[in-house]
């Protein structure tokens, strides 16, 4: 696994300070991007929270996920949450160390009182003393929230700083991108009242390890959800129910539980992703689960088609100029501004997501703008299937044939790649036999896609030798 080390430099530790009649929560920020460019310690908000105890527990839930590994738990995981100011809300995001759970707390306009919300993205310091203080918070006395330095904070490079050095696997960036692509295909499948939500979530098994069975499914039944062993119509997959444990932080404050997912899986009963959203006063907490506890989002392959096209790369550059930290990105409006089709805009947004520049909000059914600290080509360089597909193409291993059939030489073996009427590529390799496209295209199908795009763009393709020139 490729890893880099990123240093988060904070002016001072985040802290919760009790005062006379109110409490102050100061969240310190590291380097981030804003509309005016890079800032060492951007400031996004200074005002009161309308539901301070709920916000504290929601922030703890996001921090819980950032510090957790739900698979191979013996390995450590630690990453400070990301915060984005979108003008009308604050979004706190994190990913589990195993890359299988994505968490986001949206503090909406009605949850913030007394100040405008800034624009930009950065990391916030959530240290152990702060977690302990937030856990002990009782009552609902007024709480002042500051995201970013106040006028007394040291923000110059020659002043004292608190520095954390965090190893960042490249798969975390791919996980952010893949979870966005997966979520964009979700629809609302069920909605439970607060009482039913508490009853259902507390009834879930605490562990699914060692059962020897397939993924758990739940299906709407009256006012609640009923477990089932197969993907019946309307069912939602719940692989690894113990991965919803972070929701327990906020259950007593829940006003509803909404479950989102794709149409039920095929006859083989293979697991699929789903998102679980707890509605709270003035905010939402959402956990999105990968199809299996042992399977992180980073290997899902949903972004590979967008990464493999030069058209999407050029379109993404154009669309990125038009983004302005919007809480809701309208593809139709971007299509009108850019002169591109809506389909090309959506492909460009997918590609921007691979650089962490776009996320997806299931509740709003809309993309939103953020800027994670990754360069635009990092996800492509470290995606093994795409790297291998480009290598196959460079080696002349692809032979394009008639009627949508191609041959790909991989080592001593040859595989046949066939295109269906809907444009989906299938392959005779073991990867395709195992997943049938559920985890994106294999390297052979990607190589064929690259070869065909090169041919249609004017590059001469020698189909007898499989070389492009």
For the stretch 187-214, pLDDT in tens is 999 999 999 999 999 998 876 654 446 7
| Tokens describing residue 413 | 């073996």
Please give the CATH architecture assigned to the domain spanning 179-299. Roll (3.10)
CA dist., res. 396 & res. 371, Å (int): 38
Q: Kindly state the DSSP code that residue 305 receives in the 8-state scheme.
A: H
Across the beta sheet with 398-400, the strand order is: 398-400, 405-410, 413-419, 425-427
Sequence-separated (6 or more) residues with CB below 8 Å from residue 412? none
* φ, ψ (nearest 5 deg) of residue 279: -80, 135
Pairing assessment for the beta strands 413-419 and 425-427 based on DSSP bridges: antiparallel
* Measured CA angle at 430 (ends 424, 433), to 5 deg: 55
Q: How far is CA 451 from CA 391, 399, 404, 417, 446, in A?
A: 12, 9, 12, 12, 9
- Of 118, 135, 117, nearest to 126 by C-alpha is 135
User: In terms of CATH architecture, what is 304-379?
Assistant: Orthogonal Bundle (1.10)
Q: Cα-Cα-Cα-Cα dihedral of 186, 286, 383, 329, to 10°?
A: 70
User: Would you give the distance in Å from CA 150 to the centre of its chain?
Assistant: 30
Provide the pLDDT for residue 458.
Answer: 57
Largest alpha-carbon pair distance within the chain?
Answer: 81
How far, in Å, CA of 102 to CA of 243, rounded?
A: 10
Sign of CA dihedral 202, 208, 213, 214: positive
Torsion of CA 210, 213, 217, 218, to 10 degrees: -70
Q: Say what the pLDDT of residue 365 is.
A: 93
Please state the domain extents for the chain: 3-168, 179-299, 304-379, 383-468
pLDDT at residue 70, rounded to an integer: 83
Q: Round to whole Å and give the CA distance between 257 and 422.
A: 36
> What is the rounded distance in angstroms from the CA atom of residue 101 to the CA atom of residue 201?
17
Contact assessment for residue 10 and residue 26, using Cβ atoms and an 8 Å cutoff: no
Burial class from Cβ neighbours inside 10 Å (0-12, 13-18, 19+) for residue 340 reads buried
Distance CA 194, CA 255 (A): 5
What are residue 81's phi and psi, to 5 degrees? -60, 155
CB 100 within 8 A of CB 71: yes
Token pair 């960036």 in the structure block, residue? 173
Q: Go through 221-235 and write b for each residue having 16 or more CB atoms within 10 A of its CB, e for each that does not.
A: eeebbebeeebeeeb
Q: Taking the CA of residue 309 as centre, how many other CA atoms within 13 Å lie in the half-sphere pointing to its CB?
A: 19
Residues lower than pLDDT 50 in the chain: 1-2, 152-159, 210-212, 267, 459-469
């Amino acid at each position: 696994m490729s890893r880099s080390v990123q240093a988060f430099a904070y002016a001072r530790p985040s802290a919760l300070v009790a005062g006379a009649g109110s409490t102050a929560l100061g969240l310190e920020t590291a380097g981030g991007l804003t509309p005016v460019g890079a800032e060492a310690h951007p400031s996004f908000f200074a005002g009161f929270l309308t539901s301070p105890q709920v916000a504290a527990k929601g922030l703890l839930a996001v921090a819980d996920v950032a510090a957790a590994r739900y698979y191979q738990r013996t390995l450590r995981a630690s990453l400070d949450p990301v915060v984005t100011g979108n003008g009308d809300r604050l979004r706190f995001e994190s990913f589990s160390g195993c890359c299988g759970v994505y968490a986001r707390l949206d503090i909406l306009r009605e949850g913030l009182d007394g100040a405008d919300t800034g624009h930009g993205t950065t990391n916030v310091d959530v240290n152990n003393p702060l977690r302990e203080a937030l856990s002990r918070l009782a009552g609902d006395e007024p709480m002042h929230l500051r995201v970013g330095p106040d006028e007394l904070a040291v923000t110059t490079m020659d002043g004292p700083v608190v520095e954390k050095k965090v190893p960042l696997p490249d798969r975390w960036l791919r996980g952010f991108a893949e979870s966005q692509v997966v979520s964009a295909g979700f629809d609302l499948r069920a909605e439970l009242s607060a009482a039913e939500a508490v009853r259902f979530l507390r009834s879930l098994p605490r562990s699914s390890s060692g059962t020897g069975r397939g993924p758990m499914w739940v299906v709407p039944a009256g006012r609640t959800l009923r477990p089932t062993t197969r993907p019946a119509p309307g069912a939602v997959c719940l692989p690894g129910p113990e991965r919803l444990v972070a929701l327990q932080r906020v259950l007593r404050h829940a006003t509803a539980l909404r479950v989102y997912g794709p149409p039920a899986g095929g006859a083989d009963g293979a697991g699929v992703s789903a998102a679980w959203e707890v509605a709270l006063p003035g905010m939402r907490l959402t956990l999105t689960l990968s199809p299996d506890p042992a399977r992180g989002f980073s290997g899902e392959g949903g972004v590979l088609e967008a990464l493999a096209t030069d058209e999407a790369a050029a379109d993404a550059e154009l669309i990125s100029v038009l983004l302005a930290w919007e809480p809701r990105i309208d593809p139709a409006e971007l299509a009108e501004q850019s002169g591109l089709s809506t389909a090309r805009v959506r492909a460009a947004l997918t590609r921007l997501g691979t650089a962490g520049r776009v996320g997806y909000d299931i509740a709003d059914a809309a993309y939103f703008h953020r800027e994670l600290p990754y360069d635009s080509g990092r996800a492509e360089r470290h995606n093994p299937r795409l790297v291998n597909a480009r290598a196959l193409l460079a080696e002349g291993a692809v032979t394009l044939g008639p009627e949508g059939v191609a041959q790909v030489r991989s080592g001593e073996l040859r595989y046949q790649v066939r295109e269906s009427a809907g444009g989906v590529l299938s392959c005779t390799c073991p990867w395709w036999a195992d997943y049938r496209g559920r985890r994106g295209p294999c390297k052979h199908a990607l190589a064929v896609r690259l070869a065909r795009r090169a041919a249609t763009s004017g590059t001469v393709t020698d189909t007898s030798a499989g070389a492009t020139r």
